């Protein structure tokens, strides 16, 4: 209630507020894989700030790097060694990265990537896929959850505004394509021939279902964009440094021209970047496309990023294998318990990120399938888990961190069992 007096909307996104009249989650502090609320209740945390905390909360190496740097200056607005070190690490880890530019958050880096693609090609439009999220700026924010009537035909989806106050003309610059449908994609490119600067995707769709691209779809999109001189952009804000050291492009073995990173890149501090081939980054190098921001490349977040990316570069599989294994244990454990309790649930995801949703379907391939998920029941499942000491993303996502151990997974599966045993959720 105190929050509602000074914060517009208060805690409107809180999972408890949207399902019950119980007080919202009010955090006191966090450490590793755990959160504590102001009443002293402890939670295993799979929200992890919506993904950035690949190493959990307040990893000692990140805390040390940031603390040291804070005493040496916060914003320089001039070249410094930490920025170069982080750019070198991104280029070492990410297949498409020859040159890098930094921003603070994912939404603005997406805008930078789209401007760069327009500047490079001289074309006005961007193609995105239905259900994919690319930040909350006007030109990107189109409804993730339109009704199927609003959304238009399955092979020719419409851009449905995501928020009152959003500039309607932003839709003019967007072409929406269905996910995992190569024939429809090719038809849309024919229809807008010579107008499309960039094709943008969440290479593993994470925001409306954890949906993998079909191998032939991803290959087909790569081939067609190359042929038509369209910049292929992977929005790796979630997948970057999380699926694998080199993100989804390493995991799926398909390399885009340009990629956007955020979230996990700086171990929990606000940093984003675009990283691409020298050819695609040329307009920035030549000063023909502007790229700016007061806090870009500030040494405090760069210190955190250097620590985070160094840990990734040093450990590689030794870091990701346990994440994948714990994610697998988690979803298999949930699926087993659901079967025993007669609960319909679909689990998916490659480990460092996994998803659970209430549906009787055996697979989900695109937004149209996802729209049939019982989202209300999914929400109530996650709210019931919160009451059992497990904090997960209400739309069905679970982020794993290197701080989660087997005891966390056991505790979580016991909580899941208790929720499945309780007929009231
Ligand atoms: N792209 C994707 C795929 C995202 O998931 C998000 C945020 N969830 C963004 C872009 C926007 O990033 P930010 O919230 O840091 O602006």
| DSSP-assigned letter for residue 319 | H
Residues 270, 349: one domain? no
**pTM listed for this prediction:** 0.97
Residue 35 Cα, ligand 1 centroid: separation in angstroms? 23
Residues 54, 89: one domain? no
Residues 353, 381: one domain? yes
Determine which of 9-18, 86-95, 141-150, 357-366 has the lowest per-residue pLDDT on average.
Answer: 9-18
| Side-by-side strand order, sheet with 353-357 | 346-348, 353-357, 397-399
Nearest-angstrom CA–CA distance, 265 and 268: 8
CATH number for position 158? 3.40.640.10
Would you call 133 a catalytic residue per the annotation?
A: yes
- Cβ of 106 closer than 6 Å to ligand 1, yes or no, is yes
- Cβ of 110 closer than 6 Å to ligand 1, yes or no, is yes
- Cβ of 235 closer than 6 Å to ligand 1, yes or no, is yes
Instruction: Give the residue from 264, 294, 315 where a domain finishes.
Output: 315
Residue 210 pLDDT > 80, yes or no?
yes
- Cβ of 123 closer than 6 Å to ligand 1, yes or no, is no
Would you call 387 a catalytic residue per the annotation?
A: no
Residue 51 Cα, ligand 1 centroid: separation in angstroms? 10
Q: Which pLDDT belongs to residue 4?
A: 77
Residue 187 Cα, ligand 1 centroid: separation in angstroms? 28
Residues 79, 210: one domain? yes
Task: Determine, yes or no, domain membership for 310.
Answer: yes
Task: Determine, yes or no, domain membership for 54.
Answer: yes
Pocket test for ligand 1, best of 128, 262, 270 (most atoms within 8 A of CB): 262
Out of 14, 138, 235, 257, pick the active-site residue: 235
CATH number for position 378? 3.90.1150.10
Tell me the percentage of the chain whose pLDDT exceeds 70. 99
Model pLDDT for residues 325-336, shown as the tens digit of each residue: 999 999 999 999
Residues 401, 374: one domain? yes
Q: 12 pLDDT band (50/70/90 cuts)?
A: low
Q: Which pLDDT belongs to residue 394?
A: 87
Residue 272 Cα, ligand 1 centroid: separation in angstroms? 10
Cβ neighbors of 172 (< 8 A, separation 6 or more) are: none
Task: Determine, yes or no, domain membership for 65.
Answer: no
Task: Determine, yes or no, domain membership for 67.
Answer: no
Residue 294: domain span: 73-315
Q: Which pLDDT belongs to residue 11?
A: 66
* 203, 236 Cβ separation under 8 angstroms: yes
Residue 193 to residues 65, 153, 224, 398, Cα–Cα distance (Å): 49, 21, 12, 39
Q: 7 pLDDT band (50/70/90 cuts)?
A: confident
Q: Which pLDDT belongs to residue 9?
A: 79
Please state the domain count of the chain. Answer: 2
- Cβ of 369 closer than 6 Å to ligand 1, yes or no, is no
Residues 136, 277: one domain? yes
* 316, 323 Cβ separation under 8 angstroms: no
Instruction: Give the residue from 284, 315, 346 where a domain finishes.
Output: 315
Residue identifier of the C-alpha nearest atom 6 of ligand 1: 135
| Token pair 């570069």 in the structure block, residue | 313
Task: Determine, yes or no, domain membership for 294.
Answer: yes
Q: 109 pLDDT band (50/70/90 cuts)?
A: very high
Residue 281 pLDDT > 70, yes or no?
yes
Residue 54 pLDDT > 70, yes or no?
yes
Pocket test for ligand 1, best of 52, 103, 107 (most atoms within 8 A of CB): 107
Residue 20 pLDDT > 90, yes or no?
no
Residues 194, 283: one domain? yes
* 4, 14 Cβ separation under 8 angstroms: no
| Token pair 């990537």 in the structure block, residue | 113
Out of 46, 133, 357, 367, pick the active-site residue: 133
Taking the chain, what is the end-to-end CA distance rounded to the nearest angstrom?
A: 26
Determine the atom of ligand 1 nearest the C-alpha atom of 110. Answer: 10
Segment 4-28 mean pLDDT? 78
* 43, 36 Cβ separation under 8 angstroms: yes
Task: Determine, yes or no, domain membership for 133.
Answer: yes
Residue 425 pLDDT > 90, yes or no?
no
Residue identifier of the C-alpha nearest atom 9 of ligand 1: 135
Strands (DSSP E) along 329-414, which ranges?
A: 346-348, 353-357, 390-391, 397-399
Cβ neighbors of 84 (< 8 A, separation 6 or more) are: none
Distance of CA 313 to the CA centre of its chain: 21
Mean per-residue pLDDT over the chain, rounded: 95
Residues 197, 298: one domain? yes
Residues 225, 306: one domain? yes
Nearest 5°: phi and psi at 114? Answer: -70, -40
Residues 308, 323: one domain? no
Task: Determine, yes or no, domain membership for 34.
Answer: yes
Task: Determine, yes or no, domain membership for 27.
Answer: yes
> Which helix H or strand E contains 295, and what residues bound it?
none
Of 285, 270, 299, the residue nearest 49 (C-alpha): 270
| Predicted-assembly ipTM surpassing the 0.95 threshold | yes
Residues 333, 409: one domain? yes
Residue 334 to residues 210, 378, 423, Cα–Cα distance (Å): 16, 13, 17
Residue 167 Cα, ligand 1 centroid: separation in angstroms? 19
Would you call 235 a catalytic residue per the annotation?
A: yes
Residues 92, 139: one domain? yes
Distance of CA 259 to the CA centre of its chain: 13
Pocket test for ligand 1, best of 237, 256, 264 (most atoms within 8 A of CB): 237
Instruction: Give the residue from 315, 341, 360 where a domain finishes.
Output: 315
- Cβ of 189 closer than 6 Å to ligand 1, yes or no, is no
């Amino acid at each position: 209630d105190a929050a509602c007096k000074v914060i517009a909307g208060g805690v409107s996104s809180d999972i408890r507020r949207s399902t019950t009249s119980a007080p919202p989650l009010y955090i006191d502090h966090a450490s590793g894989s755990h959160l504590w609320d102001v009443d002293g209740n402890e939670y295993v945390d799979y929200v992890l700030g919506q993904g950035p905390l690949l190493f959990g909360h307040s990893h000692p190496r990140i805390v040390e790097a940031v603390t040291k740097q804070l005493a040496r200056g916060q914003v320089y607005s001039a070249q410094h060694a930490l920025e170069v070190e982080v750019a070198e690490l991104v280029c070492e880890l990410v297949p498409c990265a020859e040159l890098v530019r930094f921003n603070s958050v994912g939404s603005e880096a997406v805008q930078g990537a789209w401007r760069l693609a327009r500047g490079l090609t001289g074309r006005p439009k961007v193609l995105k896929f239905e259900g994919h999220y690319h930040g909350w700026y006007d030109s990107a924010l189109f409804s993730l959850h339109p009704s199927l009537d609003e959304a238009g035909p399955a092979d020719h989806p419409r851009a449905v505004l995501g928020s009152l106050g959003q500039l309607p003309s932003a839709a003019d610059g967007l072409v929406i394509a269905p996910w995992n449908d190569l024939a429809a994609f090719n038809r849309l490119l024919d229809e807008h021939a010579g107008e499309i600067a960039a094709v943008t995707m969440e290479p593993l769709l994470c925001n409306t279902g954890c949906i993998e691209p079909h191998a032939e779809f991803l290959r087909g999109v790569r081939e067609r964009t190359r042929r038509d001189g369209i910049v292929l952009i992977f929005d790796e804000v979630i997948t970057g440094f999380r699926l694998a050291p080199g993100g989804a492009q390493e995991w799926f073995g398909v390399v885009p021209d340009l990629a956007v990173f955020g979230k996990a890149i700086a171990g929990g501090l606000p940093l984003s970047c675009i990283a691409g081939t020298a050819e695609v980054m040329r307009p920035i190098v030549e000063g023909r496309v502007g790229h700016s921001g007061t806090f870009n490349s500030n040494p405090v977040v760069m210190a955190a990023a250097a620590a985070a990316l160094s840990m990734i570069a040093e450990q590689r599989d030794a870091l990701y294998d346990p994440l994948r294994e714990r994610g697998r244990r988690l979803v298999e454990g949930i699926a087993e318990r659901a079967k025993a309790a007669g609960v319909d649930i679909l689990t998916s995801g490659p480990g460092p990120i996994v998803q659970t949703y209430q549906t009787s379907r055996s697979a989900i391939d695109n937004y149209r399938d996802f729209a049939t998920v019982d989202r209300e029941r999914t929400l109530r499942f996650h709210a019931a888990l919160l009451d059992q000491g497990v904090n997960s993303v209400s739309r069905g996502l679970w982020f794993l961190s290197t701080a989660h151990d087997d005891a966390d997974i056991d505790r979580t599966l016991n909580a899941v069992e208790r929720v499945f045993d309780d007929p009231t959720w």
